[in-house]
Amino acid sequence: MPKVSVIIPSYNHALFIARAVDSILSQTEADFELIIVDDGSTDASLSVLAGYTDPRMRVLKQSNQGAPSAINRGLHEASGQFIAILNSDDEYYPYRLEKLIAVLESDTQIGLAGSYIEVIDDQNKTLGVKHGYMDLEPWLLKEPKRSFRNGQDLHAALLTENYWATTSNYVFRRVWVERLGGFRNLRYAHDWDFALRLTCIGKLALLPEPLLRYRIHSRNTIRENQAAMIFEICWCLAVNLPEHISPSWFDELPGGQRLDQLLHSIYTFDLDRVLTVMLLQRLSERPDLALQLLEPDDPFRHQYLEFIQNSLARQSPQAEQPGRVIRQTRIILDWLRQLRRRGQSK
């Protein structure tokens, strides 16, 4: 049995997949298996992978079903004590697995281990470093100093956004998957949902050094559909938030500090009504209904998406034009702008 199972969900990243694979094969922690699940690539990805002969590596193929499905198949095939994920356009530092496995071995109660992130572009140029939730935020808060971003609580900060940024930043024990189940069928927020569920039963550990290269390029999934992304953000909050706001955690700080932080932390792109209705549907108590909303043909899902799309159209008539970069989200553009400003100021 290998110590670590590394899973690569691969889809149409022929330009980058070799760098991803090489970054794993050169790890200082050599006791691993590499499971690559090709999710119906139509480019030269499989041809690139065919050139590898390392016995620790195997390639599985499936029709295109999305990243959560590819990751879950890898989880099903994994036999290692620890699990690591690397998206096919990202890269590991050579000593990433060694350092993060050591963190997990130091405390069996740690559910999820990760690190700071080096952000790179499609030419492998370094754009900057993301230091957890302390910078390169996916969206702006009106009063961040009154939010969960202002403090040292990794759990609290996760209620505002997925500052881990990507499943490529996830390393965890396989036993946690046996307790939680795999990734849910969310296109944009499957990583955040998994982290929120895992945080309810385990601790978080974020090493304060970059051990991952996260690539920003024109095919990043987050650029595609703003309405669907907002729907998934509200869904994640409605399903997971009630369990996190337990009295033992919520009331441990004096003077209603947690309440004030929560009021200044929840962000729904000015679509609080969507989150409110989902909470009224008690999705956290009705898992069957919650999962039903993730089905593409579910009528309630379509009602939510229509409401979100109409709201966005009132905010900006051109917000949903096909092929446009999603400006309101600031998820990718703000990262690029901040990084470029920093580079120009040096």
Residues 173 and 201 in one domain: yes
Residues 267 and 334 in one domain: yes
Residues 260 and 130 in one domain: no
**Residue 44: domain span:** 4-137+164-222
Tell me the average pLDDT across 201-211.
96
- Position 281 in a domain: yes
Per-residue confidence (pLDDT) for residue 316, from 0 to 100: 64
Residues 168 and 239 in one domain: no
Residues 328 and 217 in one domain: no
Residues 198 and 318 in one domain: no
Residues 232 and 197 in one domain: no
The domain boundary residue, chosen from 206, 222, 238: 222
SS (H, E, C) the chain: CCCEEEEEEECCCCCCHHHHHHHHHCCCCCCEEEEEEEECCCCCHHHHHCCCCCCCEEEEEECCCCHHHHHHHHHHHCCCCEEEECCCCCEECCCHHHHHHHHHHHCCCEEEEEEEEEEECCCCCEEEEECHHHCCCCCCCCCHHHCCCCCCCHHHHHCCCCCCCCHHHCEEEHHHHHHHCCCCCCCCCHHHHHHHHHHCCCEEEEEEEEEEEEECCCCCHHHCCHHHHHHHHHHHHHHHHHHHCCHHHHCCCCCCHHHHHHHCCCCCCCCHHHHHHHHHCCCCCCHHHHHHCCCCCCHHHHHHHHHHHHHHHHHCCCCCCCCCCCCCCCCCHHHHHHHHHHHHHC
What's the total number of domains in the chain? 2
Residues 174 and 266 in one domain: no
The answer on pLDDT for 327 being more than 50 is no
Range in 120-124, 218-222, 330-334 with the lowest mean pLDDT: 330-334
Per-residue confidence (pLDDT) for residue 343, from 0 to 100: 47
- Position 122 in a domain: yes
- Check which CATH number belongs to the domain holding 200 and give it: 3.90.550.10
Q: What is the pLDDT of residues 217-232, one digit of tens each?
A: 866 555 568 999 999 9
Please state the pTM of the whole predicted model.
0.89
Tell me the average pLDDT across 80-91.
97
- Position 13 in a domain: yes
With pLDDT > 90 as the criterion, what percentage of the chain qualifies?
81
Residues 206 and 265 in one domain: no
Residues 233 and 190 in one domain: no
- Position 154 in a domain: no
- Position 156 in a domain: no
Query: Residue 94 — very low, low, confident or very high, per pLDDT cuts 50/70/90?
Result: very high
Residues 114 and 208 in one domain: yes
